[in-house]
Amino acid sequence: HGTPIDWYNFCREVSEDVVINNSEKIGGFGITVEIDESKFGKRKYNRGKRVEGVRVFGGVERISGKCFFCGLSLKF
């Protein structure tokens, strides 16, 4: 039997594989693409300032659902 941490790590690895293997080129003339950026991190004891995290940039075509994701190393 796995621990909750094992389960968490498994889910994280599966999610990462899905994002990496399903990202593709999107857009083109007349195609609407929605883009956004998010930061994933955690706070100690759910309060105080946020600790360092990972910024992810992504986009999705409205009609087809095609999407891409990439990690950002820039600090802003």
In angstroms, the Cα distances linking 18 to 13, 34, 42, 46 are 9, 20, 22, 28
pTM of the prediction? 0.56
Q: List pLDDT tens digits, range 2-46.
A: 788 888 888 888 877 877 777 778 899 999 999 998 877 766 666
Closest CA to 35 of 5, 69, 72: 69
How would you classify the pairing of strands 54-61 and 33-40?
A: antiparallel
Give yes or no for a contact between 29 and 37, defined as CB atoms under 8 angstroms apart. Answer: no
